[in-house]
Structure formats: structure tokens, C-alpha cells
Chain A
């Protein structure tokens, strides 16, 4: 599925990612944890193809194809999905119209027929139930005037609608109360399958109680300093990042 090899990234001449290695296989959920400013969003954005990042070394491939060579829309059509840490408000474009356009672009790319208005509506209704998103949010402009929680739920709704192969969720838990957290997690869990993969980026362990990862990686200062199973998240919760920021010769697994 996703393979990140020795990835170095600069932002405005500052080195942010310093040799990231990450292998994510189909059916897996990986959590990337780390303190603020450690480079988690940078990694997520580079995978999605956001401008403003300079890749100075390494490679990122999805099922063998080079992602770094593609523009963001090509990556999305190949199955990459980023749930934004800060979803963007788009005045004047309704959520439903936006998703219909996006879905049909992706379907066209896959050689599938575009969905007509009726079939799109049917499909959308089904997905709305999965995420429990309110009808009125669907007809409003994308994210405009949404609460923090509504924005995050809208990201997961889009995830369900577009059914990517690789979902990267950037701090999807931030700003959510416990009920919203459960709903959003359920949306992600019902998306999980043997054929897709999820990367959960977070700096709290809380979300991982609901979206249980197969692997946990700790990103500090642009490097993955420790990897382990789900129990690593609990350990971090208990001991904090300081414990790991000064590793005492522990093997850094990938």
C-alpha cells in the first residue's frame, strides 16, 4: 500500500522531516503520535500533495506508483484521502454539489459511469446515515459556519462518500466531545477493510481507544523515534513525550 522511504522535507528552508520511513499495508491502521510541531501535519500534507513543501530526499509510493510525481487531484483519484486538521470553508459551494463533482471525477478516473442526480442522492443518503450527519449541513456551503465538531464529521462523511484506499486523518479528534468522538470513530471503523488502510495522526491517545491501531509510531522533531503496537500509545499517555524524546539507546523500529 503506502511506502515512505527516507523522506526529507523542507518548509521555507527549514528542515521539518528528517528521514521518515513508514510501511503501511492494506488492512492496517497506523497511528502517528507526537508533540505539537513535530511534523505530523507536514507528513500528512506531503502525502496529499499540498504545495509549499520541498521534498529534498526520499520517496513516497502508493501500491508501487510514485505519489510525489502527481498533483493533488491525481493522488485523490488514485485513492489518497486527507482528512484536514483545519477543514477549509468554501462559501458559495454546497457540500452536496462539491461531493457530487468530486465523486464523479474519481469515478471517471476509474472508468466508472458518473452517478446521475438520483443515484447520487441515494448513495449520499446511505452514507449520511453511516456518519449521522445532519441533512442541513449537506445543503450548506462546504464547512461554512460549521462548528469544529461538524467540520470534523464532514471530513469523515467525505471519507465515506469517496471510499479511498488510503485515508490520512490529521487530528480528526481535536475539538470533539466524547459523543462526537464516538460517532466519528464509528465512521472510520466502518470504513476499514482488508483492501484499504488508515493513518491516524493525533497527539492524544484518547482517539485510539475508539480507532484501535495495529501500529503506533512516535514522531519527534521530524523523525520517527519509536514504533510499537497499540500499547505504546498507552505508555505515552502515562509517561509523556519527554520520556521518548530522549531515547536511552532503545532500538528504533520501523
Chain B
């Protein structure tokens, strides 16, 4: 199918879904969807002509006839392999994008916190999300438009003032149905009040070997003086596609840290954007992608310094093997008002073969005069001096190279305080680089 046909296909799907909606079609929330489908009609899917998608050709997606998935009956033992041993405080499971009550386990919360599926919230208390969804994730491409148009399921986490959520909230997105190409479009919303703390892990997995498509959008609203950490682990099979937009906005004196770890997927495109929207906030973006075969991983980040006295730290690292390809585009935007900004960006990649490719582009747009911004990029091969140093002590070449690659990759996790999770990430890297 070509770009236009596929566009028509989704618009028709939207109309059909609308016809079966009854009362919901007249809700305020549905208006958001209607606007989005109109936007989608206008934008279509991005092509290489679009500057932001120059290096990522999404046309391989259109070879598949993606269908909405069904609830697949799974037992706890089926999902065990996706869990992180020792981090099972709160587990929320989506199968083919559909919330599974049976497989989820949320520690009893009697403190006003909302952890629920978007579907339930829309049915019971749509006012909780009405003022947030679509307010932050600007619809500037067809994928975000499509997700918004079909927004009906995902996670909603709303944390009241002064609440420190203990442990981690682990969101599992398990996609796949035998003999079918599944599309799932999670729409997530995370909102914290003042003085909160929360750690969220999102991990994306494939149940089957089929090519699936996850088109996810998350909006994260960090309240004053709160600490929010989000870890996005993309572990899908190597024929699947993942388009992800995570848009966060920070209130005064808050700290937001996002980790992006991409191991799987045929084509992965992440737009990880933060807006430092009040004074004294800190935004940290860390990313690691390990690619092999013909994987294609595109990370676009945008750090928008809108207000004075904020700082941002960004570090993305990639290890690319075989014919795989990476794209890194890191935009830092310092508005006129954002004096005393401190922005640091670093982007490093190791190419293990002569056929692996990386396109990287730092983009600093600075409109304030009293700012400190720096960026560094280092793309290259493994350090031969270091390889020789290890070999000269009796370590064989293959092991020496592995040790150095692992060290390069694991470095990104240095700031993770939780030992269990740190170890889990190191193990994922170890397995992938085997």
C-alpha cells in the first residue's frame, strides 16, 4: 500500500469506530480525537521530504496490513519472562494495547493516587484527563495524529501532592498474535502534584515473531519540586516497528530523568521531548541503542529551555553492528527568556563494522545571551589502544572488544541508584552484545 492508500485506510477505520461509539462520540474527549483525525488527514505519514524524517524511511511499515489485536488469554507464567526479578511492586500489563486486570498487580494505594487504564478513566472520570491529553504532545506528524485519533487505551497515573511512590511502577506492553500483524497505540498520561516522587519503567515486548507496530504517545506533567524518572525499554523482535513520542513538561524546581534503551525493533523512531517550563528545573535525557542486522533506530530529542535558571543534561550512546543504522538528532532550544541556562549534550557511537551507519546532528538554537551550552559528539571505532592494552595482559581480542563495548554501553546506567534495576539493564546489554 502506498502512503495515500494507507492514510485512507486509517481514516475509514476511524469512521467505522465512530459509528459504533454511541454516546461516547459526543463527549468532549472525542472532540480531541476528531481534531486529530482531521490533522492526520492533512499531514499523512511523514516522508523523507520532511526534514525531521530525512533519515528514517517509514515506507517498510506499509507493506503490512496491521490490525487491532485482541485480548489474548495469558497466565502469570506467560509474562514472567518480561518481569524484572525483585521489582514487582506495581505491575501493569497491556496485551496488544489492552489493559489486563488479571495480570496486573497494583499495590494497595489509599492515598489518592490514580493508577488505572485510560479506558476505565474515560468511562468513569474523563475529567481527570480531559485537560491534559493532547495539550503537550503537539500533533506535528502523522503518527502522533493517528495515536491521538485512536486514543482509548493506555496508562493514567495521577499522583497527588506530597506523595512519594515507593519502588517502581512497571508498565509492560506485550504485543503479538499468532498469524497477525498487530497495531497497538498506547496513550499514556502521567501527572504529578507538588513534592512527589515516582519511578516508572515502560518495557515493550513482542509475544510472537510477526512484525507488529506500536505507535505510542506519552505525556508527562511533572509538578513543582517533584522527581520523576522514566525508563523506556524497547525490546521488541527485530521485525517490529515502534514509533514513540514522549513529551514532558516541568514545573518549578522539579527534576525529570528519562532513559531510553533500545535493543529491539526493525525500525524504531523516538521523539523524546522535554520542556523546562519554570525556573530551576533539571531535565536529564539518557539514551542507549544497540543495533545489529538491519535495525534502524532514530532518536530525536528536543530540550526546550523556556524559563531561566534550568539545567539539562543529555547523553546518548549507540553501538551499531552489521548493516544497522542509527540517527541522533538532538535539539536544544534556549528561549530569549531562559537566562542562566545550563545545557550539556553528548552523543557517542561506536560503529563495529564499515557498513553500519550513523547520522547525527546536534542542533543548538540559543536566543538568550547569558547561557552555558556545550555539546560533544564522538563517532568512531573501538579504541585500538585500549584493545591492545587489554590484549597485552593476556585477554584475547574478542573478549577485549566485548569488555570495551559493554563498558561503553553500561556507562549510561552509572547514575541509576537501584542495584536490582542497574543489574537488570547490564544483563540486557550483556545478552544483546553476546
Main secondary structure of the interface of B (DSSP, over half): helix
A82 nearest CB neighbor, chain B only:
B392
Q: Which of A51, A77, A90, A99 touches B389 (beta carbons < 8 Å)? A: A90
Q: Is the CB of B393 within 8 A of A162?
A: yes
- Contacts known (A90-B386, A91-B411, A92-B411); A76 close to B392, Cβ less than 8 A: yes
Complex Cα–Cα for A101 and B394 (A): 9
Contact code string B395-427 (vs A, CB < 8 Å = 1, else 0): 111011001101110110000000000000000
B396 nearest CB neighbor, chain A only:
A73
Complex Cα–Cα for A99 and B394 (A): 10
Q: Is the CB of A90 within 8 A of B407?
A: yes
B385 contacts A by Cβ under 8 Å: yes
Residues of A within 8 A of B395 (CB): 73, 101-102, 105
A109 contacts B by Cβ under 8 Å: yes
A143 nearest CB neighbor, chain B only:
B389
Residues of B within 8 A of A129 (CB): none
Q: Which of B394, B400, B404 touches A109 (beta carbons < 8 Å)? A: B394
Residues of A within 8 A of B383 (CB): 88
Q: How many residues of B contact A (CB 8 A)?
A: 23
Q: Is the CB of A101 within 8 A of B403?
A: yes
Residues of A within 8 A of B386 (CB): 88-90
Number of A-B contacts (CB under 8 A): 77
Q: Which of B388, B393, B397, B404 touches A102 (beta carbons < 8 Å)? A: B393
Residues of B within 8 A of A48 (CB): 392
Residues of A within 8 A of B390 (CB): 90, 98, 102
Q: Which of B385, B393, B408 touches A92 (beta carbons < 8 Å)? A: B408
Residues of A within 8 A of B403 (CB): 93, 98, 101
Q: Is the CB of B397 within 8 A of A71?
A: yes
What is the minimal beta-carbon distance from B286 to any residue of chain A, in angstroms? 15
Within B360-399, the residues touching A (CB, 8 Å) are 383-386, 388-397, 399
Q: Is the CB of B393 within 8 A of A87?
A: no
25 contacts between A and B (CB under 8 A): A49-B391, A49-B392, A50-B388, A51-B388, A71-B391, A71-B397, A76-B393, A77-B394, A82-B392, A89-B386, A90-B390, A90-B407, A91-B408, A92-B407, A92-B411, A93-B403, A93-B407, A98-B393, A99-B393, A102-B390, A102-B394, A105-B396, A109-B394, A141-B407, A142-B389
